[in-house]
Amino acid sequence: MIKKIIVPIGLMLVFILNGCGSAASPVSGPTPVPAAGGRYVIGYYPAWAAERNVFVANIPANKLTHINYAFSNVSASGECVLGDPTADVERVYSAAESVNGQADPKSAAFHGNFNQLLVLKQKYPNLKVLISIGGWTWSGNFSAAAKDDASRQRFAASCIDLFLKQYRGVFDGLDIDWEYPVSGGLSEGTADDKKNFTALLGELRRQLDELGAVDQNHYLLTIAAPIGPGNIRNIEPGAIAALVDWINLMGYDFHGPWDSTTNFNAPLFRTSTDPGDAGLNVDAAVQTYLSAGAPAEKLALGVPFYGHGWAGVADTDHGLYQSAIGAAPGTWEAGSFEYKDIQKKYLTTYQRYWNAEAYVPWLYDPASKIFISYDDPQSLEAKAGYVRDQGLAGVMIWDVSQGDETLFDAIYKGLEAGGPPRPTLAPTVMVPRPFEKEIHSISGIILDGRLSDWSSAPDFVLNDPSQIVYNLAPNSWGGPQDLSAKAWAGWTPDGLYFAFQVLDDIHVQPNADSTLWHGDHMELQFDTLLDKDYSNPGMNDDDYQIGLSLGDLASVPPVVYAWFNGPNPAGAVSLIQMAYKVTADGYIMEAFIPKEALAGITLAEGSTFGMNVSASDTDNAAQGQKVMLSTSAIRTYADPRTFGKIRLVK
């Protein structure tokens, strides 16, 4: 009699994939090191690391609780697909490259990093591996994938089918790395991304739990989360925390060569002399998430195993907070340096400095004029100690291929010992506003590009060298005939009116998007809280920076663009009306900003807010912005404390 043996399909797949994925039996590895307090130590491993001769076999997996493999792509139809099939499942590893010291068998169901991760998990049975989906380059299709119930269901099902079923046994969960909902990434999203991201995670959690109920397994769901104030406001931290196992805070890239001034890549705390946004440091980001309802035990702090470098930095204060001409040559790309590369090539020749407020080091070489901000064992120990002291879930690393054992040892030391105390905030010292101005109520204004509705005397005049806040070169401004402006302002309960009479000898505007600042335009800045948030110098949800451009009077259309748009996403602002007239020596522009476009400003007698008016000039599109004049001689575009004080009167 022939006996029929029935094996559940799911279990059979485990046997098939585990058996075919590697011909070798499991090999025991070094004893895993328990992290202090049961905290997570999560390391990202990118698909391209093997091309740089850092293989899965080189990962110090005994010092990790989780590996996030980066990245899966998101297709145009909103489904999970392999990011790099060659690296993921096709590359055949030699014995010298493999985890178990044996060459990949040709008969394996799949090869590549996926198979190596499977073998690594056999070596470390407690190790968990997640597939990270998206990343900086591959986040462009998230918005469409999250837009409605049907698209969210399709996306979640595709990710589960691909990574938890087709490649069953390799991955223990999904890590969503959407950079970023609404705005701030390579591709602009929509305002609905904020709620849709939460809904997408809810659908993923639902389908993962359904699969887990069948498998009797808990599948992990995490996200890589932004740390910049402008990006944090575009997600719902409290609601997200309730859906995911934890949130990986990307505690790096606070500053980089995209900034014209040197600063720290990943400062733990803000320094007393930091010229940047007060929210751009690890502690500020963590406290923002906690205040937004994300529990400490659901937050893992991301730390960098790399640094950023600037070139053309003057030898003042050893290069810190100094102007730069751009990115320094890096390890694999301009401006980015692996820690291993820093240790090998730069620590021996550059001078190392330590900032006792930010708890991070930097390197500076006066001969090459290169400044490098990075993390090392001393700074990572401090950050891991902060994780312990704040009761956070653990430490996340981007990425393990760029560091060495000393960095892991420092993290474990910090998790065990604790970190530095949070600084006590010094009393706020307020300086006088650059100007104070009363703006009167008006009526009967018709937007027609003419000044006949306005009083003869302008409210502001921009025509003096003392008003230069940007100069491409010392002699870039050729005087009032080169660039000058008169500005009128008025208010009604429905909005603010402006008129500008601009003298400009050459009109150039090549862009009608976020880069319009490279061409001729007028700019308005508003701070709705004025002195109420004086201790935070950065542009926040209460601030606006709005550019008004006529275009090039031919193929480039007029546009109103908000780089900072209060609580709303950056982008073109259709609510703002504009009219203009070209004159023999420049142009006249009128604008109406309705109250709906200025959340936070009360349009009533006695109301106050911060404001700047600036005129920008370009004579050569290839050269970019040439000069800017402003009502505030101390204007800093990202510091509302440099705005003047406006009072509305009858």
- Amino acid 324: pLDDT: 93
If pLDDT is split at 50, 70 and 90, which confidence band does 21 have?
very low
- Amino acid 428: pLDDT: 72
Number of domains the chain contains: 2
| Domain-located, residue 236 | yes
Share of the chain above pLDDT 90, in %: 82
More confident residue, 95 or 8: 95
Looking at 215, 250, 285, the residue that finishes a domain is: 250
Tell whether the model's pLDDT for residue 16 goes beyond 90: no
| Domain-located, residue 317 | no
Q: SS3 string of 60-127?
A: CHHHCCEEEEEEEEECCCCCEECCCHHHHHHCCCCCCCCCCCCCCCCCCCCCHHHHHHHHHHHHCCCC
pTM of the model: 0.78
| Domain-located, residue 21 | yes
| Domain-located, residue 274 | no
The SS3 assignment for 371 reads strand
More confident residue, 9 or 633: 633
Cα atoms in the 13 Å half-sphere on the side-chain side of 434: 19
If pLDDT is split at 50, 70 and 90, which confidence band does 187 have?
confident
Tell whether the model's pLDDT for residue 166 goes beyond 60: yes
Query: What are the pLDDT digits (tens) for 518-551?
Result: 999 999 999 999 988 887 767 877 899 999 999 9
Report for 106-110, 187-191, 348-352: range of highest mean pLDDT: 348-352
Choose among 562, 559, 641: nearest CA to 598. Answer: 562
What is the mean pLDDT of the segment spanning 614-636? 93
Looking at 250, 281, 301, the residue that finishes a domain is: 250
Question: What is the C-alpha separation between 487 and 494, in angstroms, rounded?
Answer: 20
Residue 248, classified by CB atoms within 10 Å of its CB into exposed (0-12), middle (13-18) or buried (19+), is: buried
- Amino acid 22: pLDDT: 41
Tell whether the model's pLDDT for residue 13 goes beyond 60: no
Choose among 628, 621, 398, 640: nearest CA to 541. Answer: 640
Question: What is the C-alpha separation between 176 and 191, in angstroms, rounded?
Answer: 19
Taking a C-beta distance cutoff of 8 angstroms, is the pair 221, 208 a contact?
yes
What is the mean pLDDT of the segment spanning 340-347? 97
Q: 272-276 contacts: CB < 8 A, separation 24 or more?
A: 272/357, 272/426, 273/321, 274/321, 274/358, 275/321, 275/636, 275/639, 276/537, 276/538, 276/638
Taking a C-beta distance cutoff of 8 angstroms, is the pair 323, 472 a contact?
no
- Amino acid 31: pLDDT: 66
If pLDDT is split at 50, 70 and 90, which confidence band does 595 have?
very high
Residue carrying structure tokens 């740390």: 227
Share of the chain above pLDDT 70, in %: 94
Taking a C-beta distance cutoff of 8 angstroms, is the pair 614, 643 a contact?
no
Which helix (H) or strand (E) covers residue 379, if one does?
helix 377-390
Catalytic residue, candidates 79, 179, 523, 590: 179
| Domain-located, residue 351 | no
| Domain-located, residue 425 | no
If pLDDT is split at 50, 70 and 90, which confidence band does 33 have?
low
Looking at 193, 227, 250, the residue that finishes a domain is: 250
- Amino acid 7: pLDDT: 28
| Domain-located, residue 338 | no
Tell whether the model's pLDDT for residue 24 goes beyond 80: no
- For 305-366, list the strands marked E by DSSP: 306-311, 326-327, 336-338, 351-355, 360-365
Task: Check if 179 is active-site.
Answer: yes
Choose among 291, 80, 72: nearest CA to 200. Answer: 80
Query: What are the pLDDT digits (tens) for 372-403?
Result: 999 999 999 999 999 999 999 999 999 999 99
Question: What is the C-alpha separation between 520 and 528, in angstroms, rounded?
Answer: 26
Residue 495 tokens, joined: 């909005």
Query: What are the pLDDT digits (tens) for 285-305?
Result: 999 999 999 999 999 999 999
If pLDDT is split at 50, 70 and 90, which confidence band does 635 have?
confident
Please state which of the ranges 55-64, 216-225, 270-279, 463-472 shows the lowest mean pLDDT: 270-279
CATH code of the domain in which 158 resides: 3.20.20.80
Residue carrying structure tokens 């948030």: 533
Query: What are the pLDDT digits (tens) for 252-278?
Result: 999 999 988 999 999 999 999 998 878
- Amino acid 638: pLDDT: 74
Q: What angle do CA 9, 11, 14 make, to 5 degrees?
A: 110
Alpha carbon separation from 295 to 240, 298, 387, 518 (Å, rounded)? 11, 5, 13, 43
Range of the domain at 39: 9-250
**Strands 299-304 and 246-249: what pairing?**
parallel
More confident residue, 454 or 535: 454
| Domain-located, residue 156 | yes
Mean pLDDT over the full length of the chain: 92
More confident residue, 56 or 3: 56
**Strands 306-311 and 326-327: what pairing?**
antiparallel
CATH code of the domain in which 570 resides: 2.60.40.1190
Tell whether the model's pLDDT for residue 97 goes beyond 60: yes
Residue 470 tokens, joined: 């940007």
Taking a C-beta distance cutoff of 8 angstroms, is the pair 380, 402 a contact?
no
Tell whether the model's pLDDT for residue 9 goes beyond 50: no
- Amino acid 26: pLDDT: 44
